[in-house]
Amino acid sequence: MLKAFVSVALAAICLGGRESSVTLFPRAISSPAPPATLVPQLTRLSHGRVVLSWQERLKEGGYRFAFAIRDAKGWSVARSIASGPNLSMFTADLPGIAELPDGALLAYWELKDMRDGDRYATAIQTAVSRDDGRTWTRPKQPYPDALSGQHSFLSWFHSADGVGLVWLDAEQRSLVRHAEMHESRMGSVGLRFADLNANGDLTQQSFINPITCECCPTGSAVSGRGPVVVYRGRQEPPGTMPSEVQDDRPTVRDIYITRLENGKWTKPHVVYPDNWVINACPDNGPSVDAAANNLVVGWWTRSNDSPKVQVAFSADAGDNLGKPIRVDAGNGEGQVTVALLPDGKSAIVGWLEDGQTCARYVASSGMVGNILKLGASPRHSRLPAWLSTKDGVIVAWTAKAGDGTQVEVANLAF
């Protein structure tokens, strides 16, 4: 259970930002999630409603994917979407629920896919409900069934006709087995896009970028000029084909942004050149939020062996981003989320640091508020989308609860 919140004032000089007097005031919201829950995700629905989803560990093994909807009267009863021993669960990979144009719900999650013996392989599942989750259509995949391998780290956005999904896709990668049970992987993981219509049916799909970092979460939002997606890329020598990529080769793996405008994805460009060289995926992706042409991106880097959480703002839907503002206290662990505030020039950013889920106000001017510690969280626990409202920001996170975990919810005001 949520016991207490701690607000910490830090010397701004060590962060490279200017400290302001903005302090976050948390109010705990009763969580509809039972004990032994994790990987929460928040989604804003029409008519002022919010949906919280999570996975719950089952005593018999496996997981249950469930959710509850909050309106002016409070939370609905928790309802199940899927369950069983084959549900995939990774603390940095969040299943969730999107909203279709007519208000129907579209759930997305992953199953383990061991057809080729790849322990990292997963299959995306989607299902639609038109009665607030009481019943669901038969699950299906948003890509051809023949494609095996990793399909994970999804994010979604409202598209012209329905819902857009993006994820990391290992279609180009193959598993190579060697002597003495050793195995390696050849070929790239790429950023894939699928457009689903109002019935949740696939209408088009394509690779946005066929070569990306292998297992860092993606982020998405809708700007005034179209949907934007952020992800961790990897720089390969010019002319490198996807089939030639070696996943353990040291490469620069910085954060990129692209936008779907007039039916085409813009050429991805780097949010900021951290120039972080690493020979493995850090399981730590970016987050983005937008309103009109105002946009904010948050991310973690360990360039030059210096871990830090950074935020950058844009006033032109991501074409240009300002100088990064550091928000952590010196030992940030990432798993970042950002919520753009109504003025379009400030945000609430969340991240993990020293085993705690933290939150902080940050403005495009470089001003930062006090750090709020929400409580202890397990490592690698990706923070979900945090939702800006007229009353503050609704936040959720995975908290430590004794020897287990518990999804917690709060409202942050300032």
Express each pLDDT in 234-255 by its tens digit. Answer: 999 999 999 899 888 899 999 9
Does residue 1 have a pLDDT over 90? Answer: no
Mean per-residue pLDDT, 182-204: 89
In a domain, 130, yes or no: yes
Does residue 179 have a pLDDT over 90? Answer: no
Express each pLDDT in 265-316 by its tens digit. Answer: 999 999 999 999 999 899 999 999 999 999 999 999 999 999 999 999 999 9
Average pLDDT taken over every residue of the chain: 92
> In total, how many domains does the chain have?
1
pLDDT at 149: 81
Does residue 229 have a pLDDT over 80? Answer: yes
pLDDT at 3: 45
In a domain, 136, yes or no: yes
Q: Which domain holds residue 88?
A: 6-413
What DSSP string runs through 345-361?
SEEEEEEEETTEEEEEE
In a domain, 23, yes or no: yes
- The CATH number assigned to the domain holding 369 equals 2.120.10.10
Cα–Cα separations (whole angstroms), residue 307 to 52, 330, 352, 356, 373: 30, 7, 11, 15, 18
In a domain, 1, yes or no: no
Bigger pLDDT: 118 vs 98: 98
- Dihedral through CA 340, CA 392, CA 97, CA 71, nearest 10? -150
- Dihedral through CA 340, CA 41, CA 8, CA 30, nearest 10? 110
Does residue 84 have a pLDDT over 80? Answer: yes
In a domain, 85, yes or no: yes
Give the model's confidence band at 112: pLDDT under 50 very low, under 70 low, under 90 confident, else very high. very high
